[in-house]
Amino acid sequence: MNLLPESSEEVPQFYIRLSSPLVTRGLLGILLALFVVSVLLSLWIFGSWTSLTRTDLRVLILLGAKVDELVAEGQLWRLLTAVFLHSGVIHLLFNLYALYTLGPLLEGYIGHLRFLAVFFISGLYGSLLSYAFSGSISVGASGAIFGLLGATTVFFLRYRQHFGDQGRAVLQNMLLVLALNLLIGFSASFIDNWGHIGGLIGGGLGMAGILPQYRPPAGLPGRPLPLEIADRRLAELAWVGVCLILFWVGVGWVTSVRFPPL
């Protein structure tokens, strides 16, 4: 990423110091570990050998799948735990691959804590829209992954002028992947597309308020220097809080509309 001064004989070169994908690796490990747990529980409790390819629904409910009636009764934690469960090995592998491909890119640019915040906000908003518009039991990290796609799009849209051809290529790829996956989601009845849309909204909304703001470092020696990130921790924490409050209000509103008290 190059920031160019309006007039200078020498053009100072700056770059973004990338973060290692520690959170991405941790999330990959959690998703894989919970799938192994679900398989073992299916074998142990129900003797279900089909769990090697498709997780027993009873185990998914036990571990925290999104079940609308149970959420309405107060088990709101299911809107989060459902993000980390998967219905089968194919479902898991698709999401692991997507997270492995996309996670290091976004985490590298925005850092560990921002990335974690975007992932959780995306997952929660995906569960919220699924709770609002899909009555089916659902699990999976794809809503959170759609949020990462949305957040990456927001990032490269904001800094598209500074990344040049590389940034435009990434932005075009993100838009293409989003369009194709939404099209596939609308054409397949077993895909929770509302969860995908909710995750996309959550990722874009979260990223809009915690987007890193860069500034050149003091002094311009004759070698490339890493850009500094403006310290906006309080503002970013406040924005995450706003996103979570909106989520909480949304859950309450959906429950009151779909499951009104008798």
CA distance 110 to 246: 23
Judge whether 96 and 31 are in contact, CB under 8 Å. yes
DSSP sequence for 12-59: --EE--PPP-HHHHHHHHHHHHHHHHHHHHHHHHH--GGGGTB--HHH
Instruction: Quote the CA–CA distance of 92 and 51 in Å, as a whole number.
Output: 13
Question: Cβ(213)–Cβ(3) under 8 Å?
Answer: no
Candidates 19, 122, 142, 187; catalytic one:
142
* 38 given a catalytic annotation: no
Residue 143, H or E segment: helix 142-158
Number of H helices, E strands in the chain: 10, 4
Distance CA 256, CA 66 (A): 17
With a CB cutoff of 8 Å and minimum separation 6, the contacts of 76 are: 251
Does 196 qualify as catalytic in the annotation?
yes
Active site residues: 142, 196
